[in-house]
Structure formats: structure tokens, C-alpha cells
Homo-oligomer: A and B are copies of this chain.
Amino acid sequence: MTTTNVPVQPRTSIGKFLVQGGTTIALLALIVFFFAMRPDVFLTFTNVRNILFQVSILAIVAGAQTLVMVVGDFDLSLAATSSLSGSAVASLMLGGMPMAPAILIGLVVGLLIGIGNGLLVAYLNLSAFVATLATMTSVIGLAYLVTQGTTLFNLPDGFNALGQGRLLNVPLPVYIAIAIAVVLWAVLRFTTTGRKWYAIGGNVEVSRLSGINVRRGRLMAFAAAGLISAVAGILLAARLGSGSAVQGSDNLLFSVAAVFLGMTVIKSGQANLVGTMVGVAIIGVMSNGLNILGVNSYVQQVVTGLIIIAAVTLSGLKTRER
């Protein structure tokens, strides 16, 4: 009940971390736990490489999802888009097209779907949820048509090397995922486009009245997300040496979960790339660690849900309702 004016304490980074870092703490706790359980295995080079390899594609899709969620939208079709792009590239190469143009077309497919979503959401004012749900449905149908429901394989070695080759004993997709994450982080942080996206996500009307072209901004976020998820899908095809309509479909929910986990990492509760990568890491560490401990996969699934809840609750976040 003192009335002395205590000067407002500048929060230290560590204090901030402890207050907001519930999700990060959850990640560390998981790492410590699995390390304690299997010190001989968990943090070995091979296993860390394993984890990185396993999450690399998810990290790319989650990066794409982050962009859309930064502008306050939502894209349910990303995983489907990545399957379609991967399938299209596989199908074209099997049809005799050289690798480079096939990949180019695969990327264009992703970009076009992204632009389609962007037009529906930003220009026709459809809710992102319905629009991308509908796109997802159609895109999965297209992927089935492209693959005729089968798994396309026998892809050129040069192509498979993209997903399976190694540099310094680390698989290429890991480098590609890191590179994409760094680029997206820099785009969000340092470019005018990224700034505009954050502004639009913060308040559409304020952004518009500040001279930002809101529609174009949202369109661009969707387009970029479509393009990036095409990269993920093509990499996944190269990584598995095959393309199919359903390949990577679990990336849908996991990418969204990763972004949401990541939103709890920073105070303002916005989607952000570093947070998303923490979310991806939680998902990857959890699945690898539980596998290593030999936990039954049904139990794993139950535990996964509980850990997500624990992480988010720990972060004590007062998320605004979306």
C-alpha cells in the first residue's frame, strides 16, 4: 500500500524468458527428459541429425503457414498443395520431362494455388477457413488425378539426391529447411513486405488507413505460402523417392500446431518464425524421443496431445480468441 513511485523495472531478458517462455521451457524439459532417459542415444550426432531430418519438411510447411498466420489468416490447403506439387513433379519426370523444368512447373503449381487462395480470401472476402478448406478438397482431388491414386516412383537419381543426398554427413533437406527458415525470418523482420504483413495481421483497418495495400499484402502472403509448400512437397518426393496424393498429409495439423505453439513464445502472441521453429522442434523431439523410449504409438498419440496442452498452458498465455 505504498504510494512511492517505484520506477518501472525494465524487464530483463531472462525474466521475460521465464514469464513468456513456457513453450521454450517445455522444449528444454523434453530434451532434458529424453536425455536423462537415454543419455547414450538422445543427444548423439546421429540422433540429432535424425530429428532434424525428420522435421525438415514439416519445418518448411510450418514456415509457410507462419506467413499466412502473420497476416491473420489461415491456410488449410498447404499440406495438400505440397502433395500435389510433389506428385506433379514426379509425374512429369516419369513422363520424360527433365528435372529442372519439372521442378519449375511443380513450384508454379504451388504458387498458383497460393494465388488462388489469396484471391478468394483477399479479393472475394471469403473466410480463410472456408476458402482454404475448399481449395484443400479440390487440390487433394487433383493430386489423386495426377497420380491416378498410385504412388509414383522410379524418379531420377539426380532428383532423389535432393532429398536424400548429404553434405558433411547431414542430409540436404536439413540445409534447405534451415535456409528457408532464415530467409523467412529475415523477410518477416527486415523487409517492408514483412512489416506490412505484421501490420495487416495487427489491424486491417489501421493498415489500410496507413496506406498499406492490404489486399495485395494478403494475396502475397498466400502466394508465398503456396510456393514454399510446393518446395516442401517436392523435397518430400525427393526424400521418399516417390510421389503420392496423400504423402505428407499429417503436415497439415502439425504445421498449424507448430505455429500456434510458436505464438506462445512471444509476448504479443503473434505468429513468428522463431517460435514456429520451437514448435516444430517440440513436435520432432517428442516423436523421436517417444520412439526411442519404445512407447506404443497409440500411447504416443495421447501423450503428444497432453504435451501440447502442457506447453501452451505453461506459457500462461492469454491468447486472444481467434
Binding site for B on A (CB under 8 A): 72-74, 120, 124-131, 133-142, 144-145, 149, 204, 253, 256-257, 260-261, 263, 297-306, 308-309, 312-313, 317-322
Contact = CB atoms under 8 A, between A and B. Distances in A.
B139 A305 contact: yes
Contacts of A302: 137-138, 141-142, 145
Given A125-B317, A137-B301, A319-B126, A309 B145 contact: no
Chain A binding surface SS class: helix
Given A308-B137, A322-B322, A130 B299 contact: no
A305 B137 CA distance: 5
B308 A128 contact: no
Nearest to A313: B124
A126 B298 contact: no
How many monomers of this protein are in the complex?
Answer: 2
Given A134-B312, A137-B253, 10 more contacts: A126-B309, A126-B313, A127-B320, A127-B322, A130-B309, A130-B319, A138-B303, A141-B300, A149-B298, A322-B322
A313 B130 CA distance: 10
Contact of A127 (B125, B129, B141, B319): B319
A256 B133 contact: yes
Given A256-B133, A313-B126, A138 B304 contact: yes
A322 B142 contact: no
Contacts of A308: 130, 133-134, 137
Contacts of A204: 321
Contact of A131 (B145, B301, B312): B312
Contacts of A319: 125-127, 130
Nearest to A145: B298
B137 A321 contact: no
Contact of A137 (B125, B140, B304, B318): B304
Nearest to A77: B305
A312 B131 CA distance: 8
